[in-house]
C-alpha cells in the first residue's frame, strides 16, 4: 500500500553476509540398525506376545527420521509375531479431528502404505481411572479397546512453554498424546506452571492402567539430526526421562550472537516447533511462567511452512508478519491448540505488512535507539536450521571474534526479499 511506502521511505535494509555456526555433532549413521540394536539389546521385544495387537503412537512434531524410526519399530514388532497398527497421539493437533490427525501423519510420511500396517484414528476416549488428586485419566478408545498393548515413540526435548522434569517426551506422549484433546485440556487446565506435574501424575497412573510395553525416546543434535535412540521398558520411563531431557537440553542449537535488534524468520510451522518457532531459540515465550530474554527488539515472520497446513500457532511471538503469512492462516487449525491450552498470546495477530521488504523495514523502523545504518539484524530459515544464517554488516566484527563462527562470504550483499508476494 502506498501509505506504507511513504512511511517506510528511507528505512534502509542492511546488507547481510552468510555465516556458519558450529556446534558439536554427534549422530547416528544407521538409523534402522540403531533402532533394531536398541530394541534387541534392551530386551523389550521379549514382552511382545505373538498375535498381540499393538498400537504404536506417533505424534505431530517434526522429528528427524520419524517415518524411518516408526517403520523399523513396526518391522520388529511384526518379526516378533505381533499385529501392529499406528495411532495418532497428538492431543488437539490436526484441528482436533481424527481426519486432521491422519493428515498430519501423512505429512510426516506415515501412512498405511509407507508403514505396511493400518493407521487407525479417533478422538474418542475411554476413562480408565482417577489419580490420587482426583484427575480423571482418559485413553484413546482404539488403544484401549482394539489393542492388547501400546508402544510409545517421541522426541525428548525442552518444551516451549514450561519447565520441569517432564517436558516434551514419552511421559507427555502418554498423558496428552494417548489422552487426546481431553487429556491435553486436562493437563493445561492448571496453567503452564503445573504442566510438568500434571503430565507426571497422569502418565504414572496411565502406566498402571494401560499395557504400555515400552517407549522409544529420540534425542536430536543441534543440526536437527538423530543422535540418540533409547528404548525404555515401561517401568523405566518415568525414572530415566529427566536425565534424557537434560541431555537433550545440552544438545540444542542457539544463535551464537546474544544481542541484536531484528530477527527475520523465513518460515514457521508446527513441523518446526509446537509454537511454530521454538521460544528456546528466539527467547520469547507465550506464558509468564518463563521469562522473556532481551535478545531482540523485533521478530519478523515471512511465511508458514507447507507442512503446517495453515496452523499458525505461535504467530503471536512475532511483532510483524507478511500478508502472505496472514492469508495462509487457517483459524480452524490454529485456534484448537489455544482453546485447549488456554494460552491465547500464541495466536495473537502481529502487524501485517504487504510483503517481505515492508515487513523487514517495519521491524527496523520500530526499533528504539538504533543509529542509522547500524541495525543489528539476523536472518534464519527457521528455528531448527541454525547452521548457516545471515547477519548484517554491523555484526561482522563480533562474529569474527567468535571461534564457533565461520564467515562464509567475502562481501556483504543485498538481502534477497520478495517485494511482490
Is 159 domain-assigned?
A: yes
Same structural domain for residues 19 and 42? no
Do both 288 and 394 map to the same domain? yes
For residue 420, is it within any domain?
no
Residue 413 lies in a domain: no
Query: Does one domain contain both 165 and 53?
Result: yes
Residues 6+ apart with CB under 8 A from 387: 20, 21, 23, 222, 223, 253
Mean pLDDT, the chain, integer: 93
The model's pLDDT over 157-187, given as tens digits with 9 standing for 90+, comes to 998 888 999 999 999 999 999 999 888 888 8
Same-domain pairing of 268 and 246: no
User: Are both 257 and 340 inside the same structural domain?
Assistant: yes
- Average confidence (pLDDT) over 361-365: 95
Is residue 416 in a domain?
Answer: no
- What pLDDT was estimated at residue 1? 62
Q: Is residue 418 part of a domain?
A: no
Residue 10 resides in a domain: yes
| For residues 87-107, average pLDDT | 88
Domain count, the chain: 2
- State the pLDDT at residue 92: 77
Residues 218 and 319 in one domain: no
Q: What is the pLDDT of residue 231?
A: 98
Lowest mean pLDDT among 76-90, 282-296, 402-416: 282-296
pLDDT band at 420 (very low <50, low <70, confident <90, very high): very low
Q: Within this chain, do residues 277 and 395 fall inside the same structural domain, yes or no? A: yes
The grid cell for 260 is: 541484536
Last residue of a domain, one of 228, 250, 272: 250
Pairing of strands 377-380, 388-392: antiparallel
Q: Where do the DSSP E strands lie in 239-392?
A: 262-265, 298-301, 320-322, 351-353, 377-380, 388-392
Check whether residue 300 and residue 394 sit in a common domain.
Answer: yes
Residues 337-346 as b/e (b if ≥16 CB within 10 A, e otherwise) read bbebbebeeb
3: pLDDT confidence band, cut at 50, 70 and 90?
confident
d(CA 132, CA 138): 15
Predicted pLDDT at 393: 95
- Pick from 250, 281, 310: which residue ends a domain? 250
Residue 152 placed within a domain: yes
The domain spanning residue 144 has which CATH number?
A: 3.40.50.11440
Give 373's pLDDT tier (boundaries 50, 70, 90). Answer: confident
Tell me if 147 sits within 8 A of 122, measured CB to CB. Answer: no
Rounded CA gap, 147 and 51, in Å? 11
Q: Are 315 and 274 in contact (CB under 8 A)?
A: no
Contact 404, 22 (CB under 8 A): yes
Q: Within this chain, do residues 202 and 268 fall inside the same structural domain, yes or no?
A: no
Residues 151, 109 share a domain: yes
Domain carrying residue 262: 2-23+253-407
pTM: 0.83
In 221-362, the DSSP E strands lie at 226-233, 262-265, 298-301, 320-322, 351-353
Q: Which strands make up the sheet holding 262-265, listed edge to edge?
A: 351-353, 320-322, 298-301, 262-265, 377-380, 388-392, 16-21, 405-407
Is 194 in the same domain as 56? yes
Residues of the chain with pLDDT > 90: what percent?
Answer: 79
Q: How far apart are CA 183 and CA 144, in angstroms?
A: 14
Are 265 and 245 contained in the same domain? no
d(CA 89, CA 340): 15
Using CA atoms, how far apart are residues 52 and 172, in angstroms rounded to an integer? Answer: 25
24 neighbors 53 (Cβ within 8 angstroms): no
Encode pLDDT of 238-278 as tens digits: 999 999 999 999 999 999 999 999 999 999 998 888 899 99
Query: What is the pLDDT, as a whole number, of residue 78?
Result: 98
Amino acid at each position: 500500500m502506498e501509505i506504507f511506502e511513504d512511511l517506510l521511505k528511507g528505512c534502509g535494509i542492511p546488507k547481510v553476509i552468510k555465516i556458519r555456526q558450529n556446534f558439536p555433532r554427534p549422530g547416528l549413521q544407521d538409523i534402522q540398525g540403531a533402532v533394531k540394536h536398541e530394541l534387541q539389546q534392551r530386551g523389550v521385544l521379549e514382552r511382545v506376545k505373538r498375535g498381540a495387537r499393538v498400537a504404536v503412537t506417533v505424534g505431530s512434531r517434526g522429528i528427524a527420521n520419524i517415518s524411518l524410526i516408526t517403520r523399523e519399530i513396526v518391522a520388529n514388532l511384526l518379526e516378533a509375531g505381533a499385529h501392529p497398527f499406528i495411532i495418532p497421539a497428538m492431543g488437539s493437533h490436526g484441528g482436533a479431528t481424527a481426519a486432521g490427525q491422519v493428515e498430519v501423519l501423512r505429512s510426516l510420511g506415515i501412512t498405511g502404505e509407507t508403514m505396511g500396517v493400518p493407521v487407525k484414528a479417533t478422538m474418542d476416549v475411554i476413562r480408565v481411572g482417577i489419580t490420587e488428586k482426583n484427575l480423571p485419566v482418559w485413553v484413546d478408545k482404539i488403544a484401549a479397546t482394539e489393542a492388547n498393548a501400546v508402544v510409545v515413540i517421541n522426541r525428548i526435548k525442552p518444551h516451549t512453554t514450561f519447565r520441569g522434569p517432564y517436558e516434551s517426551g514419552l511421559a507427555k506422549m502418554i498423558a496428552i498424546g494417548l489422552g487426546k484433546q481431553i487429556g491435553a485440556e486436562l493437563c493445561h487446565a492448571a496453567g503452564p506452571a503445573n504442566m510438568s506435574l500434571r503430565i507426571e501424575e497422569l502418565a504414572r497412573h496411565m502406566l498402571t492402567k494401560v499395557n504400555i510395553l515400552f517407549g522409544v525416546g529420540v534425542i536430536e543434535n543441534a543440526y536437527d539430526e538423530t543422535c540418540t535412540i533409547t528404548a525404555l521398558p515401561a517401568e523405566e520411563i518415568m525414572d530415566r526421562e529427566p536425565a534424557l531431557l537434560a541431555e537433550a537440553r545440552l544438545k540444542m542449537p542457539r544463535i551464537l550472537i546474544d544481542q541484536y535488534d531484528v530477527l527475520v524468520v523465513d518460515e514457521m510451522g508446527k513441523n518446526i516447533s509446537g509454537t511454530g518457532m521454538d521460544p528456546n531459540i528466539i527467547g520469547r515465550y507465550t506464558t509468564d511462567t518463563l521469562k522473556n530474554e532481551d535478545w531482540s527488539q523485533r521478530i519478523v515472520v515471512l511465511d508458514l511452512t507447507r507442512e503446517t497446513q495453515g496452523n499458525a500457532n505461535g504467530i503471536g511471538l512475532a511483532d510483524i508478519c507478511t500478508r502472505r503469512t496472514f492469508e495462509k492462516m487457517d483459524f480452524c487449525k490454529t485456534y484448537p491448540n489455544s482453546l485447549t491450552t488456554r494460552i491465547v498470546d500464541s495466536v495473537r495477530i502481529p502487524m501485517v505488512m504487504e510483503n517481505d521488504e515492508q515487513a523487514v523495514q517495519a521491524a527496523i523502523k520500530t526499533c528504539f535507539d538504533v543509529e542509522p545504518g547500524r541495525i543489528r539484524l539476523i536472518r534464519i530459515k527457521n528455528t531448527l536450521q541454525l547452521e548457516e544464517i545471515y547477519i548484517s554488516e554491523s555484526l561482522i566484527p563480533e562474529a569474527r571474534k567468535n571461534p564457533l563462527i565461520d564467515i562464509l562470504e567475502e562481501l556483504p550483499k543485498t538481502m534477497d526479499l520478495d517485494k511482490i508476494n
